[in-house]
Amino acid sequence: MRIEKVDVIVTSPGRNFVTLKLTTGDGVVGLGDATLNGRELAVASYLRDHVAALLVGRQAHNIEDTWQYPYRGPYWRRGPVTMAAIAAVDMALWDIKGKVAGLPVYQLLGGRSRRGALAYGHASGTTVEALFTAIRNLRDDGFKAIRIQAGVPGLARVYGVGSDQLAGQRYDYAPAARTTVPVEEDWDTAAYLRHIPGVFEAVRAQFGADLLLLHDAHHRLTPNQGAQLGRALEPFDLFWLEDCTPAENQEALRLVRQHTTTPLAIGEVFNTVWDYQQIIREQLIDYVRSSVTHTGGITHVKKLLEYAAQYQIKSGMHGPTDVSPVGMAAAMHLGMSIHNFGIQEYMKHGAKTDLVFEQSFTWTDGLLHPGAKPGLGVELNVDEAGKYPYEQAYLPYNRLADGTVHDW
């Protein structure tokens, strides 16, 4: 069964998505997510200009070989663009194999290891009242785990904090601004560190001990500041503190780890197992944040998580709305099947996105389930996708009060 046709579809139903569509000679279609927020066209070009010709005529069943070929062959390895492109090829091939076998992909990965995948949602607010409303909305929707982000006094806007939900409206945070150059925001680490522990104290006092609470520091702290924050949050029993330091310096986590028992999650900007070598081997983290979409697909993330499992480190796959429903489905199939599943991030997509991508996964009682459809269980409505051409959009950049560019 050979791959006959390769299509790369860029669509923007509220935000940009890149989807790879492989069609075999006998008409089986496989989908892969290649969305890289703010660099979507780079991945689309990589796939169209450098990968598509390698795929036409290849055996669609040979997933491992078709992973190794674009990874080892072209001399240049790793990096977000390359690994997102390879991820999409890998997902599409698993989708095809599942459809041909008549089985959902998680069955091909070893079958079900749990009833469903525990997922966390995003709550935020510029005031405690607004934050509490956002938390109540998520709890009403079944979430048992919630990421808490809060506005910081003195800062006009804080990344990860959406418009307040006082009227009970849907969480509508779209961090990527549709502008030709990124918007700049102010950042003040000292003000943030002073404010956040009080926010968690208020949330625990209001919502009790059972709710699982998470927090994302978006790589903005030094190791010492990360250690301070982890320690300050210990009384509030976090599920995890995410991305406390810039991710490329793996050794930084040693210092954080020496000073706090708050569980640590890292890796949404990593793209291979090599980025985790030291932090897994030295047990410097508790959760691996890599998404299937940005880390070489199901094949590579499965290997990464099996390595992590030897060190009692669990999955915590990245699942913001810039991972498409195809990428989310792939994460769910993998999460259902592995033993060391931890939690899945889950931000619901908007109505337009749901029309472009017909999904079969379900959300019940705080758990995600990929569904029983053969393959990944997501179909692309090409006509609907065509209504939404690409729109340039970027995440904000940060500057300190004196104008210095600051980390993510």
Residue of 171, 217, 200, 98 lying closest to 321 (CA atoms)? 171
Whichever of 268 and 286 has its CB closer to ligand CS2, that residue is: 268
Binding track over 203-242 against ligand CS2, x by CB under 6 A: -------------x-x------------------------
**Which residue type sits at 10?**
V
Site string for ligand CS2, 379-398 (x = CB under 6 A): ----------------x---
Tell me which residues are annotated as active site: 159, 218
Residue 33 contacts ligand CS2 per CB under 6 A: no
H/E stretch holding 33 reads strand 29-33
Tell me which of 320, 350, 371, 396 binds ligand CS2, using CB under 6 A: 320
Q: In sequence order, what E strands does 201-288 have?
A: 212-216, 240-242, 264-266, 287-288
Q: Which phi and psi (to 5°) does residue 107 adopt? A: -70, -35
**Cβ closest to Mg ion, residue 108 vs residue 118:** 118
- Report CA 201 to chain centroid distance, whole Å: 27
55 or 264: whose CB is closer to Mg ion?
264
Which of 392, 407, 397, 383 is CA-nearest to residue 42? 392
Decide whether 4 or 407 has the Cβ nearer to Mg ion.
407
140-159 residues near Mg ion, rule: CB under 5 A? none
Q: What 3-state DSSP class applies to 150?
A: strand
Q: Does 322 bind ligand CS2 (CB under 6 A)?
A: yes
Task: Return the number of the residue (56 or 405) whose C-beta is nearest ligand CS2.
Answer: 405
Q: How far is it, in rounded angstroms, from Cα 113 to Cα 207?
A: 30
**322 scored as a contact of Mg ion (CB under 5 A):** no
Task: Map the footprint of ligand CS2 across residues 147-186, applying CB under 6 A.
Answer: 175
Instruction: Round to whole Å and give the CA distance between 400 and 406.
Output: 6
Residues 6+ apart with CB under 8 A from 249: none
At closest approach, how far in Å is the CB of 347 from ligand CS2?
A: 7
User: Distance from CA of residue 292 to its chain's centroid?
Assistant: 8
| Contacting ligand CS2 within 244-283 (CB under 6 A) | 268
Helix (H, G, I), strand (E, B) or coil at 373: coil
Which of these ranges, 227-235, 299-307, 316-324, 365-373, lies near ligand CS2 under the rule CB under 6 A?
Answer: 316-324
Picked from Mg ion, ligand CS2, none, the partner binding residue 345 (CB below 5 to 8 A depending on kind) is ligand CS2
Asked if 104 and 63 count as a contact pair (C-beta separation under 8 A), the reply is no
Which of ligand CS2, Mg ion, none does residue 37 bind to, with CB < 5 to 8 Å depending on kind?
ligand CS2
In angstroms, rounded to a whole number, what is the distance separating the alpha carbons of residues 161 and 127? Answer: 11
Tokens representing residue 141 in the block? 């929707």
Q: Please identify, using beta-carbon distances, which residue of 38 and 371 lies nearer to ligand CS2.
A: 38
Shortest Å distance, C-beta 218 to Mg ion: 6
- Alpha helices for 215-289 (secondary structure H): 223-233, 252-259, 277-281
Binding site for ligand CS2 (CB under 6 A): 37, 175, 216, 218, 268, 318, 320, 322, 345, 395
Binding site for Mg ion (CB under 5 A): 216, 268
